[in-house]
Chain A
Amino acid sequence: MRVRLSAVFLTALAMAFGLLTLAGLVVQGDLGALSQAVNQSGIRPLVTLLLRFVVVISAVALMAGVYNLVAVHVRRLSVRRGLAPYSLVMLVSFGAVIVLSVRPRSDEARMVLEEVQIALELAFAGLVLFSLVYGAATLISRRPTWSSALFIVATVVMLLASVVIAPSSPLLAVVDWVNAVPVDAGTRAILLGVALATLVAGIRVLVGQDRATRE
């Protein structure tokens, strides 16, 4: 098997910094000799530095992405005539928001966010309702199974219960029980499953088995 030196180096780097960061984050005060060892080894300042690097690298990634986005739209202006108007609108909006944001004490940037972006997203949120109804309506026809039927029945019953049942109705106790026991149990089961899988995935990264660093 051919082993690339750069891949070995990257894997070793990821493992070393991963384990150091883990030790610095997990072992804090109150653990006696273990805390003392971590404090004396100088891991904690290194962890703080590494976490700052994460923020800086994220910012650089964002700037690289923005540069790429602008470059693509500038290129489109001349190459893909049909899409040029959209790119022009995008570039003008981009420039306007940047100019408005850098002006001192200006409310225009906030207005752009509140009056344009939030309004647009609220409109999309309204559309989500219809998409959800469509999904529920077609679930049984696309996947006619007992679990799908149970999913639909539970959804409809809980929706009706939240709208129709009077506060004094005895049915409310049943709805509360469904929320408190089966729904809560299912929620915890899914979250615990994801947490365990995240733990195993983290260990995979820390022992250098993840594909992103190995290849």
Chain B
Amino acid sequence: MDAANQVLTILVLTLGFAVTLIVTQFVRRRPDLFVFRRQAAYAALPGYAALSVESGQPMAIHLGNAGLGGEASLLALASAELAYQVAVRAAFGDRAPLLTTASPTGLALIQDTERRVARKVGRARVFTDARWYPVGARSLAYVAALTTLQSNEDVSSNVLVGRFGVELALAAESAARRGHPVIAATDRLDGQAVAYAFSAQPLIGEELFQSGAYLDGGATRKGETVALDLLRIMLIGVIALVAVQRFLNGGGG
């Protein structure tokens, strides 16, 4: 990394820290000031959890290849947060929510998620429905295994959040054919296009990271979402300024 890139990185990080910390404190003091736009996926998830409890069929939550210790670490944490929010709601049924991963470090993450869910809902025993499908870097075999869960485990609905490519279509199609609702989101563009096509209520891009704000409702999580919006507006402003400057200088695109 050259000096210019280092300075830019430090500036972005400092700005991110400042905006997130200040806005979060502001929102914690006045949590009712901000009303979020409706997110169909987050509005539907509690209903899917309730359906799982009433029908006695487990909800399946899949994290794909997102694991800790690599560039997908934060994606894995965000996916685990969403899994936690959903699993807490579905944990009162006869069948524990089914969590799966293709990453070895993801297994530790989903087991920890289930431990926290068990503690939250006051169950003495930790659930055991955390599954690891060891498929290495490729995830085609993983989604092929997920297709069998639809009938073998008789799942009520599917949440696929984490790292998936275009192969996500296999698992989603298998669920859709049986009429099981699917909510999917990933950080990969090809997987995101497939997720949009198959999801009953799509989540796109950064919306995957906002589950805490929509499902938990805590002021800190809300603050982070407001900070994200503010950073986005700043970024749009910078992009617009650069475009205007280039236009004025006659540089075109």
Contacts and interface: CB of A to CB of B under 8 A. Distances in A.
Q: Do A and B come from one complex?
A: yes
The size class of the interface chain A forms with chain B is 35 or more
Contacts of A125: 140, 167
A135 B172 contact: yes
A206 B21 CA distance: 11
Contact of B69 (A57, A151, A207): A57
Interface in A114-128: 117, 120-121, 124-125, 127-128
Nearest to A94: B134
A200 to B, nearest CB: 5
A26 interface: yes
A215 B78 contact: no
Nearest to A125: B140
A190 B208 CA distance: 12
A128 B170 contact: yes
B55 interface: no
Contacts of A175: none
A124 B141 contact: yes
Contacts of B187: 194
6 contacts: A58-B69, A64-B107, A135-B194, A192-B235, A193-B206, A194-B205
> Interface residues of B: mostly helix, strand, loop or mixed?
helix
B96 to A, nearest CB: 16
A206 B13 CA distance: 11
B6 A28 contact: yes
B167 to A, nearest CB: 6
Interface of A: 22, 26-31, 54-55, 57-58, 61-62, 64-66, 68-69, 117, 120-121, 124-125, 127-128, 130-132, 134-136, 138-139, 142-143, 151, 187, 189-194, 196-207, 209-212, 215
Contacts of A139: 197-198
Contacts of B132: 65, 68-69
B141 A205 contact: no
The size class of the interface chain B forms with chain A is 35 or more
A30 B138 contact: no
B200 A199 contact: no
B1 interface: yes
| Pairs of residues from A and B, 4 with the lowest C-beta to C-beta distance, nearest first | A197-B206, A197-B209, A131-B169, A131-B173
Given A194-B205, A209-B220, A211-B212, 19 more contacts: A26-B9, A27-B10, A30-B2, A61-B104, A124-B167, A124-B170, A125-B140, A128-B140, A128-B170, A132-B197, A134-B173, A193-B232, A196-B228, A197-B78, A197-B210, A199-B16, A202-B74, A203-B17, A209-B224
A199 B200 CA distance: 28
Contacts of A143: 200
A151 B196 contact: yes
B98 interface: no
A58 B104 contact: yes
Contacts of B194: 132, 135
